Structure 1
Amino acid sequence: MKIFSPLYARAMLWARHRHAPWYLGGLSFAESSFFPIPPDVMLAPMSLANPRRAMWFALLTTLTSVAGGLFGYLIGAYAFDAIEPWLRESRYWGAYEQAVAWFGEWGFWAVFVAGFSPIPYKVFTIAAGALSMALLPFTLASLVGRGARFFLVAGLMAWGGARMEAVLHRYIDRLGWATVAAVVLGVLVYRA
């Protein structure tokens, strides 16, 4: 059943849209402070669709993500009391508690690791503000961590270019169904 091929084709079409960089910047900003979808889902196809502009997309993603991280920092610093009840009820509370523990142990490196890894960066931006982390180290760790991640993604996609796009298009349905099966298996194992 070919469900993923049309979605892939549509994503690649959107990745070539003239307003796509604006959407990428908005998504990157929002994800760093409150939105759950990472910008990699736009950065990767945009870099694949237009390899010559991949480094520009990575820079745009990095800068808007750090700006969003600074907004998250402000939320933590000035509005934490307002969001804490919601945060406690959300799936992010455990990650927030982990972020607080990491800040106590590693400080700067906690932000760097969260910026580079798939750990919810937004939780660390809010925690950094709530714990009054010094703004300059926070910003530098964010720039380095987020930049490393986004330039790596864009670079890999640009390197693959048209060849990778063709291979993905050929195997996207198999990859999609394998991912669905892995998620279902993961949920079953987790519940067991």
Structure 2
Amino acid sequence: MLRRLYKWVLSLSARPTAQIWLAVIAFVESSIFLVPADVLLLPMVLTQPKKAYRYAAIATVASVLGGIAGWALGYFAYETVAKPILSFYGKLAEFEHLKASIDDRWILLLMITSGIAHLPPIKVVTILSGAVHMALPVFILCAAVTRGARFFLFAYLVRRYGEAVALFIEQRLNQIVLIVAALAAAAILLSGRFVTV
């Protein structure tokens, strides 16, 4: 089923309505959907490199709006809507653990890692942000920066270096982000330690 869904999303890039589909996929990816917008963004940038930044902007705006929808699910409808969605994706236990043990600093770290590299999946973090009542303006700013960084950097690299760099990004991005996340986590822990001393 997942492979068919992936192929269907990939096929949307050849349609005249590809930009609309990019916005739709980027929107729903941030709150409920399984396939990332990159699957559609990659072939669109490869076939129309001059429109790379336009596509990245569409994906960023739609992703942030979708993130707001995910935040609203967590904030207003956690029990009735968000829990069944998380359960469907097998993420409920992970989510409940995060929800019980997280503070604002860790939410920001998760926004960075999920926004850039889907670690954990962006939909989990957007719903979590609402469930723990993260301030909406802070959430929007963080989502815009992290999602924009991902899509614009991806668009730039694919436009400049082609399909080979996309494969490299796919294989190495998670490792790079894990290293950055570890450094960020250490900085957060140390900053909290110095503030409380």
Distance 2:15 2:46 in 1: 13
Distance 1:104 1:134, change over 3 A: closer
Q: 1:84 and 1:26, CA in 2 relative to 1: closer, same or farther beyond 3 A?
A: closer
Residue of structure 2 equivalent to 1:158: 159
Q: Please tell me whether the aligned partners of residues 26 and 66 of structure 2 are also in contact (alpha carbons under 8 angstroms).
A: yes
CA change 1:124–1:50 in 2 (3 A) is same
Query: Does the Cα contact within 8 Å between 1:116 and 1:148 map onto a contact in 2?
Result: yes
- Alignment correspondent of 2:90: 91
Determine the structure 2 residue equivalent to 1:129: 130
In 2: Cα distance, 1:131 partner to 1:98 partner: 12
Contact 2:12 2:40 in 1 (8 A): no
When residues 37 and 14 of structure 1 are mapped into structure 2, their CA distance, relative to the original with a 3 A threshold, is closer
Distance in 2, Cα, partners of 1:143 & 1:46:
21
C-alpha RMSD over aligned residues: 2.8
Q: Which has the larger radius of gyration?
A: 1
Give the secondary-structure state (helix, strand or coil) at the position aligned to 2:27.
helix
With 115-124 and 101-110 compared, the bigger mean Cα shift is at 101-110
Q: In 2, are the aligned partners of 1:99 and 1:110 still within 8 Å (CA)?
A: no
Q: Counterpart in 2 of 1:72?
A: 70
Corresponding residue pairs, total: 158
Question: In the alignment, does 2:45 pair up with 1:44?
Answer: no
The sequence identity of aligned pairs, in percent, is 33
With over 3 angstroms needed to count, the CA separation of the structure-2 counterparts of 1:146 and 1:85, relative to structure 1, is: closer
TM-score by length of 2: 0.70
Give me the whole-angstrom Cα distance separating, in 1, the residues matched to 2:47 and 2:141: 30
SS, match of residue 107 in structure 1: helix
| Alignment CA distance shift 1:31-1:84 (3 Å) | closer
Give the Å deviation of 1:91.
Answer: 1.2
* AA at the equivalent of 1:113: T
Q: Is residue 108 from structure 1 mapped to residue 78 from structure 2 by the alignment? A: no
Normalised by the length of structure 1, the TM-score is 0.72
1:16-35 matches, within 5 Å, as 16-35=14-33
Partner of 1:58: 56
SS of match in other structure, 2:110: helix
Q: Gapped runs of 5+ residues in structure 2?
A: 1-6, 172-197
Partner SS for 2:75: helix
What is the SS of the residue equivalent to 2:34? coil
State the distance in 2 between where 1:74 and 1:15 align.
29
Shift of 1:160: 2.5
Q: Secondary structure of 1:38's match? A: coil
CA contact 2:83–2:92 (8 Å) conserved in 1: no
* Larger relative contact order, structure 1 or 2 (CA cutoff 8 Å, min sep 6): 1
Matched-pair contact (CA < 8 Å) for 1:61–1:150? yes
Which residues of structure 1 form unaligned runs of 5+? 1-6, 173-178, 180-192
